[in-house]
Amino acid sequence: MAAAPRRLAGIGLVLCSVFCFAALDTTTKWVSASVPLIMALFLRYLVQALGATATLLPLRGWALLRTRHPRFHLARGLLLILSSALAFLSLARLPVGEFTAVVMVTPLLVTLMAARLLGERVAPLQWLFVAGGFVGTLLIVRPGTQGFSWVLLLPLALVLVLVNTGFQLLTSHMARTEEPLTLQFYTAWVGTFACALPLYGAWSPIHGIGLWLGILFMGLASSLGHLLLIWSFQQAPASTLMPFMYAQIAFGMLGGWLIFDHRPGALTVGGMLLIAASGVGAALFRARAGVRALESTEHEGATVRPLIECKETHVDCCV
């Protein structure tokens, strides 16, 4: 497939992926009001694992289990579990759209972390994008108002700085060498076993077919969303896809309005737009910087090309 169609395919896949994630967050907020956290997580990953096994194992056979990096699969599954648990806690205190906007500050932090780890100079414009993202976050949570709480911000900060960032970096890196179906299979079962350990003594009856259907939908939306995300990384570089991931904010707002009748205020919408604009601007800035670096390398000769290609690979994984 030519470069342009591959990029368009990657963009379409990532848009479908973030739609699934927004639907997952909306359903999670509804289910978590009635189902204990560990139960909801276990049932979500059990549905995801059983579905992956039933559909993928007959399709691929034992080749599905082949992997070069079993430790990476374990780490990815544990990161996703921790991210999901913190998302549950955060969604209990924030509307879906606002939660999504705050979490989407993560790519800005990833950009800076990649630059610092590689020893690159951080341009003033990049600092401006990061500052814009944090100002947008403050507009959403608004310190000093009645709804603000440092207890609310703690899980969000962990998602932003540690868990969600690590999961995105690892997913982008593993998508280069691992089959997407294998990634999906191992992540689902790691999550299931990790949640099963503390489940003893925490089980309580779930009343109503609606809650069971909600849990089933959570597993399906998570499976499809992550599979589409893996496929998108295989079709296009992360620098191309990142701007379109901010569509999840709009999808989250739509879910909050349709299901919970929540309409964010003007300051909150302004904060969401500022985060989205800062994230898109940062992604486009890094993409242009990568193109300029490649063009300059072509003029410098082949002796430095291996170093540049290695460096670009790591930048692409860390955007």
Neighbours of 197 (CB within 10 A): 9
What's the pLDDT at 152?
60
The rounded distance, in Å, linking the Cα atoms of 145 and 59 is 54
Identity at 71, one-letter amino acid code: R
How open is the CA angle 82-88-89, to the nearest 5 degrees?
A: 95
* Closest-CA residue to 239 (of 107, 106, 103): 107
* Closest-CA residue to 51 (of 172, 226, 205): 226
Q: Are the CB atoms for 167 and 317 separated by under 8 Å?
A: no
Residue 137 CB contacts under 8 Å (≥ 6 apart), including other chains = 101, 102, 105, 271, 275
What's the pLDDT at 172?
72
The rounded distance, in Å, linking the Cα atoms of 200 and 217 is 24
Residue 22 reports pLDDT greater than 60: yes
Q: Are the CB atoms for 106 and 283 separated by under 8 Å?
A: no
The beta-carbon contacts of 147-151 under 8 Å, at least 24 apart in sequence, are 149/93
* Closest-CA residue to 188 (of 64, 291, 47, 290): 47
Residue 86 reports pLDDT greater than 50: yes
pLDDT mean over 15-39 = 91
Task: Tell me which of 48-52, 111-115, 183-187 is least confident.
Answer: 111-115
Residue 216 CB contacts under 8 Å (≥ 6 apart), including other chains = 47
Q: Characterise 301 by phi-psi region: left (phi > 0), alpha (psi -120 to 50), beta (else).
A: left
Instruction: Tell me which of 317 and 190 has the higher pLDDT.
Output: 190
Q: Are the CB atoms for 204 and 39 separated by under 8 Å?
A: yes
pLDDT digits (tens, 9 = 90+) for 23-32: 999 999 999 8
At 109, is the pLDDT very low, low, confident or very high (cuts 50, 70, 90)?
Answer: low
What's the pLDDT at 298?
52
Mean pLDDT score of the chain: 77
Burial of 4 (0-12, 13-18, 19+ CB in 10 A): exposed
Percent of the chain at pLDDT exceeding 70: 76
pLDDT digits (tens, 9 = 90+) for 126-141: 778 778 877 887 787 6
pLDDT digits (tens, 9 = 90+) for 154-209: 566 556 557 877 787 787 778 778 887 888 889 889 999 988 888 877 788 888 89
